Structure 1
Amino acid sequence: MTPSTDERFAAIRDEFGPDSLARVEEMIAPGGMPRHPLQAGAKWILPGISQKPWHDPRSDPGIASLADALEGAHASIASEHESAWRTNRTAFSDYEHYLTRQDDWQSLHLYRDGALIEDSASAAPTAYGIIEDVAVGNELICPLLESHFSTLLPGSRIAPHCDLWNFSINLHFAVDIPDDCDLTVAGETRTWEEGRCLLFDYSFEHSAQNRGTRPRTCLLVDLWHPETTIPERQALTVLVTRVRQLMGEGR
């Protein structure tokens, strides 16, 4: 860690107690943490987080409130996205994952770089409002990551990979799902049910495919893992932000 990071960590310990960052310190200690073999590609594994690939989106009250809000507004969200896709394609862009960029994987961001994307409010007002009021307003969203409409074009595939860590968790809200689409996490394949949410730990190896004849769209929201604490979230935000600055990354 750098001196500025050490100072921020010390301030968090002063507020929350000397042991409040013990798991974060263990995570960044030399040698790293033991992990499930299917988490081998992740950079950081916070100890004490359940090594469980799939989660029930109703098991945590905060995440359940977001899932309920999205599912209750499915018709409006789907209609607004379809209109934007048809009439405002310039609002979408190739999705840039930390490992790759794909032109057959299109995105419309609602939240990124720690802030809402105000330009997206007119294209997707219902989803934008829910992300603003519930995910951001209740501090469920991980400010290190994002929320975006994820559209896989027909015949596209997201290759198996692990995301960077286990202290956030990925909510998939199924907006428009053709036949022959699926998501595989840690070797278990599931299909999206239109208008419903799936929740999984993307530090486990995962992949997705659209073998259908029209685009597949989900709204993705990167949330804090519910098993993390407030001081840990503060420290992890400081840590990852500083690492990105040192690496010259924009986010």
Structure 2
Amino acid sequence: MTPETDAAFDAIRAEFGPDSLARVEEMLKPGREGDRHPLQKGAKWILPGLSQIAWHDPYGHPELAPLVKELETQHGAIKKELTEAWTRRRDAFSDYEHYLTRQHNWQALYLYRDGGIVPESAVTAPTAHRVLKEFAVDTRTICPLLESHFSTLLPGAAVAPHCDLWNFSINLHLAVDIPEGCSLTVAGETRSWEEGRCLLFDYSFQHEARNDGDRPRTCLLVDLWHPETTPPERLALVALITEVRRLMGEM
């Protein structure tokens, strides 16, 4: 904690009550591992009290269901625009840079990054841009610490097993273009994407992905707040992680 985070936390407590950040404070106690699943051991931060569920029902959270429904409804238009972008605007894609690695066979086209919508995505992928803005950004269900992008795994590509940094956001996948031979494994359970449908999972659990097909596999990924986090916790977590990144020279 720094004076900046202390001040931010004090302001949040003054607005929401003295106990509003109890779980965040518990998470930050020195040496605290907390009650975490063995397959969450690689995550840096585990906010206590959140359900330890690896796979979530995409329609199981009222806060997120409107986004899921609209993405699935607009799948046809989203796929058409993605295909055109991949064919005619390949320079809009870049190697995906995960916090662990950078992969040339994992391409990304960003819709949301660094806390805001990527303006160019309104031209490159207008339907996805609109849905994301109306149903995730404007509703504040997107986690501003992270991103949304089209994730394209080239044939033969694999994302090695890993845990992401924390459990207070979860990952939504819209299956945009899915060849045979693709899989996603989370907490030891392997599933396949169904084109036009969404998957939702907690990526603090160990997970991996493969494309053993003969053409690129593309999903639209959206990092969303875990629906069991509260508004004051979200404010505090943004202040905390922003300060950590500043101290690490990432901002």
After TM superposition, is the score higher than 0.5?
A: yes
Aligned equivalent of 2:211 = 210
Aligned equivalent of 1:25 = 25
Aligned equivalent of 1:182 = 183
User: Structure 2 matches for 1:64-213, cutoff 5 A?
Assistant: 64-213=65-214
Report sequence identity in percent.
68
Structure 2 alignment gaps of length 5 or more: none
Runs of 4 or more above 2 Å deviation: none
What is the aligned residue count?
250
1:130 Cα deviation after fit:
0.4
1:4 Cα deviation after fit:
1.2
Q: Deviations over 1:201-235 (max 9, x none)?
A: 00000000000000000000000000000000000
2:242 counterpart letter in structure 1: T
TM-score normalised according to structure 2 size: 0.99
Aligned equivalent of 2:40 = 39
1:166 Cα deviation after fit:
0.1
Matching of residue 14 in structure 1 with residue 14 in structure 2:
yes
1:62 Cα deviation after fit:
2.1
SS of residue paired to 1:62 = coil
Structure 1 alignment gaps of length 5 or more: none
TM-score normalised according to structure 1 size: 0.99
Tell me how far apart the structure 1 counterparts of residues 37 and 228 of structure 2 sit (CA, whole Å).
18
SS of residue paired to 2:63 = helix
SS of residue paired to 1:172 = strand
SS of residue paired to 1:121 = helix
- How large is the Cα RMSD of the aligned pairs? 0.5
1:31 Cα deviation after fit:
1.4
1:121 Cα deviation after fit:
1.1
1:17 counterpart letter in structure 2: G
2:139 counterpart letter in structure 1: N
1:141 counterpart letter in structure 2: I
